[in-house]
A and B are shown apart, each in its own frame.
Chain A
C-alpha cells in the first residue's frame, strides 16, 4: 500500500 494511504473502505 502506498505510504500514508489510509483505509479507503468504510
Chain B
C-alpha cells in the first residue's frame, strides 16, 4: 500500500459517500445516470469474485464489501425507492450502456492476464470501469446544469483513478517486475474521459460560478 493508492481509495469512497448523501438528503437522483450506477455495480461484482477465496487484508475485504454493497444499494434506490425513482431523468439517461458491457467483455476475452474465469472477469471489470462514466457525462451534457453534489461526486470519481495512475508509477519505480498494463492503460483512458469535465469544473470553481457543460 502506498499513499497514492490510499488517497485513491479514500477519494473513491468519498465519491460514493457524496452520492449517497445527495440521494439520502435530497431524496432525489436528478442528474444521476442510473445506467452508470448499474455499470459500476457490474464492475464491482465482476472484479471482486475473489472476495471469498482470496484474503489480502481486512482493509481490502472491507472496502470490497463497501463498494459492492453501496453500488447495489444505489441502483436499488434509483429503481425501487418511491421518492427517489420519481426524480430519475429517464428520458435523458438514454445511453445504450449494454453496448459498453458487450464490448468490454469481448475485449476481456481477447486481452487478459490469464485465460481463467476470474482473470477474464477482472479484465472485463477494468475495461467496463473505464467507460462506465459515459452515460453519466452524456446525461450531464443533456441536462446542462449540474448541482453541486453531483459535480463533486463526478469530480472525486475521476480524481480517484488519477491517484491510481500515480500509484502505478510509484509501484513501477519501486517494485521489481511490477507490470499492470491492462489496469494502467485502462486507467489512463478512464481519467482522460473526465478531461473536459475537469476543465469545466475547474473553470466554474475559479469563477465561483455554477458548473455548466456546453450542450
Contact = CB atoms under 8 A, between A and B. Distances in A.
B122 A1 contact: no
B125 to A, nearest CB: 10
B63 A10 contact: yes
Contact of A9 (B5, B118, B177): B5
A3 to B, nearest CB: 10
Chain A binding site: helix, strand, loop or mixed by DSSP? loop
Interface residues of B, number: 18
Nearest to A9: B5
Which of A6, A7, A8 is the most central at the interface, judged by chain B CB atoms within 10 Å of its CB? A7
Nearest to A8: B56
Interface in B49-63: 50, 54, 56, 60, 63
Interface string B166-191: 01000000000100100100000000
B54 A10 contact: no
A10 B12 contact: yes
Contacts of B122: 7
A6 B12 CA distance: 21
Given A1-B177, A10-B12, A10-B60, 6 more contacts: A6-B118, A9-B5, A9-B164, A9-B167, A10-B9, A10-B63
Interface of A: 1, 6-10
Leading 7 A-B pairs by shortest Cβ distance? A6-B54, A8-B56, A10-B63, A6-B50, A10-B9, A7-B122, A9-B5
21 contacts: A1-B177, A6-B50, A6-B54, A6-B56, A6-B118, A7-B47, A7-B50, A7-B122, A8-B56, A8-B60, A9-B5, A9-B164, A9-B167, A9-B180, A9-B183, A10-B9, A10-B12, A10-B60, A10-B63, A10-B64, A10-B67
